[in-house]
């Protein structure tokens, strides 16, 4: 008694059955399962699913086959499988084990088929259409997720009708080492993604892309798993609405830590989106100096110099030497967006002069700053409108313009690209060169 009503049985009898090397789960599901005893095969059921007990492995091996029998779904350990070929599956003894519970193992068909994946390339959400398995390293392993049209058609049975068509469609597979469960195997909705340690290595804008694609709950969970700095970088690339919903989910303390790490202008933009009570809660958790800076920034209207400015700039005392200043820049440059102009301040933070990085580099190493700085300062008041800031910057060919109060006290700087962004329609700004992260982000967002 062999494979009831399967037409191809005779055909495969003539030529030897082809042993399974690699293929797709959807092709294996439904194949007959036989028990072989004394050279005689007895049909016991059909393949229903495969079980992986250690899904966290790079290419996890399959531990058991779930067989649909007359007595329900039973598990056959993979060690019992003596033969897997185009005819079907042969096992040493009839499966008797009841299938392990869902929360202890990963089921390839039940848990993975049709579920969402966030692609490593920062592409949008895709779905697992099929799973590729292969015999490598002495075991049957999960190799890749099929996310393409070919997988869809194969699942719909097109392989039996028009096999040639399937061959022609380019395959879209994601190697399994690029796919890992996002969090512990929750028994229900497994949302897959790039695994978390890999997330942190992505470029912040890609990371933001992925976070932006996730549901709000998952997004908050991913952000929680990142360190403050990575989270802050990614945050700067997110839409305000997404930022806000994640902040709501994070808890005040963690949210404050992340906001503290963000560029001050982005941090202020984000705080500006929140209610005043929430702002105060978050600011209270921060370092007091940083909190004061942010409080000031938030207070300015968005389309004024105050709203555009950042407090990340390089400042020095006038009595410093050129040599010492260069050393200081080297030290702080990695954390500061804009280092091309240096602002000379006194103890009371009054702006005394400006010098460019070029001037500094060309000066004698032991000269003091106040002898080389430019004292004819061009500065603007925080309430000046964005357009006027831009025209000031344009008129004097500046890369950035300092913002001071009526006593000449330094408040921050507006960089040329932020000024331009504020006055030019977004569509055009992507063509302009950038040197701050804020600018780069705009470009990344605008570009397709």
Partner 1 sequence: MLGPGFITASAGNDVGGIATYSAAGAKFGYATLWTLVALTVSLIIVQEMAGRMGAVTGQGLAGLIRENFGLRTTFFAMVALFFVNTGITATEFAGIAAASEIFRVSHYITVPLATVVVFLLVLRLPNRVVERIFVAFSLIYLSYVVSGVQAKPDWGQVARGAFVPQIVHDPAFLVTVVGLIGTTISPYMQFFLQSAVVDKGARARDLPMIRADVIVGSVLAIVLAGFMVIANGATIYQASLHTGHPPLNIDTAQAQDFALALQPFAGTFASLLFAFGILNAGIFTATVLPLSTAYIVCEAFGLEASLDRRFREAPIFYMLFGGAILLGAGLVLLVPKASLFKLIFYAQVVQGILLPLELVLMLIVINRPRVMGSYVNSLAANVIGWGTAVVIGGLALVYVWQSIAGGS
Residues that bind partner 1 (CB under 8 A): 113-117, 123-129, 147, 149, 152, 155-156, 187-189, 214-218, 241-242, 245, 448
Nearest to 376 by CA among 352, 350, 345: 352
Nearest to 423 by CA among 380, 445, 394: 394
Cβ at position 202, least distance to partner 1 in Å: 19
Which of 147/380 has CB closer to partner 1?
Answer: 147
Q: How far is CA 90 from the centre of its chain?
A: 44
Which of 138/448 has CB closer to partner 1?
Answer: 448
The C-alpha atoms of residue 424 and residue 32 are separated, in whole angstroms, by 67
Which of 107/113 has CB closer to partner 1?
Answer: 113
The tokens of 34 are what?
């036989």
Cβ at position 243, least distance to partner 1 in Å: 10
Which of 242/301 has CB closer to partner 1?
Answer: 242
Cβ at position 78, least distance to partner 1 in Å: 25
Inter-CA distances, 320 with 141, 313, 342, 348, 369, Å: 64, 17, 12, 16, 6
Cβ at position 153, least distance to partner 1 in Å: 10
Cβ at position 71, least distance to partner 1 in Å: 24
Which of 125/372 has CB closer to partner 1?
Answer: 125
Which residues contact residue 114 at a Cβ distance below 8 angstroms, ignoring those fewer than 6 apart? 127, 128, 129
Cβ at position 101, least distance to partner 1 in Å: 14
Q: Decide if 29 contacts 48 (C-beta within 8 A).
A: yes
The tokens of 369 are what?
């700053």
Which of 136/217 has CB closer to partner 1?
Answer: 217
The C-alpha atoms of residue 316 and residue 212 are separated, in whole angstroms, by 40
Q: Decide if 323 contacts 388 (C-beta within 8 A).
A: no
């Amino acid at each position: 008694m062999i494979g009831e009503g399967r037409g191809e049985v005779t055909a495969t009898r003539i030529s030897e059955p082809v042993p399974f090397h690699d293929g797709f789960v959807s092709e294996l599901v439904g194949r007959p399962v036989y028990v072989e005893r004394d050279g005689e095969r007895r049909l016991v059921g059909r393949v229903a699913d495969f079980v992986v007990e250690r899904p966290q492995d790079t290419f996890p091996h399959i531990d058991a086959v779930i067989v649909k029998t007359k007595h329900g779904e039973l598990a056959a350990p993979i060690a019992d499988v003596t033969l897997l070929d185009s005819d079907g599956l042969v096992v040493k003894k009839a499966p008797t084990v009841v299938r392990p519970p869902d929360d202890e193992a990963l089921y390839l068909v039940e848990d993975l088929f049709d579920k969402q994946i966030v692609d490593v390339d920062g592409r949008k959400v895709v779905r697992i259409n099929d799973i590729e398995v292969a015999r490598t390293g002495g075991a049957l392993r999960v190799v890749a997720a099929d996310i393409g049209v070919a997988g869809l058609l194969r699942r719909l049975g097109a392989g039996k009708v028009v096999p040639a068509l399937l061959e022609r469609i380019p395959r879209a597979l994601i190697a399994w080492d690029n796919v890992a469960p996002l969090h512990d195997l929750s028994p229900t909705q497994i949302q897959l993604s790039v695994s978390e340690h890999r997330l942190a290595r992505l470029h912040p804008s890609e990371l933001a892309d992925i976070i932006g694609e996730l549901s709000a709950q998952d997004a908050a969970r991913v952000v929680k798993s990142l360190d403050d700095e990575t989270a802050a970088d990614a945050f700067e690339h997110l839409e305000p609405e997404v930022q806000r919903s994640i902040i709501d989910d994070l808890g005040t303390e963690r949210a404050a830590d992340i906001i503290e790490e963000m560029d001050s202008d982005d941090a202020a933009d984000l705080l500006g989106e929140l209610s005043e009570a929430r702002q105060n809660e978050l600011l209270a958790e921060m370092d007091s100096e940083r909190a004061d800076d942010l409080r000031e920034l938030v207070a300015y209207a968005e389309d004024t110099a105050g709203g555009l400015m950042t407090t990340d700039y390089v400042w020095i005392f006038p009595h410093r030497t050129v040599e010492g200043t260069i050393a200081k820049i080297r030290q702080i440059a990695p954390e500061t967006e804009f280092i091309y102009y240096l602002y000379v301040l006194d103890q009371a933070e009054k702006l005394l002069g400006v010098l460019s990085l070029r001037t500094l580099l060309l000066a004698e190493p032991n000269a003091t700053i106040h002898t080389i700085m430019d004292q004819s300062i061009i500065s603007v008041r925080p309430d000046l409108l964005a357009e006027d800031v831009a025209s000031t910057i344009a008129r004097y060919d500046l890369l950035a313009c300092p913002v001071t109060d009526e006593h000449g006290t330094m408040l921050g700087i507006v960089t040329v690209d932020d000024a331009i962004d504020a006055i030019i329609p977004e569509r055009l700004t992507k063509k302009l060169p950038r040197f701050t992260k804020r600018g780069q982000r705009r470009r990344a967002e605008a570009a397709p």
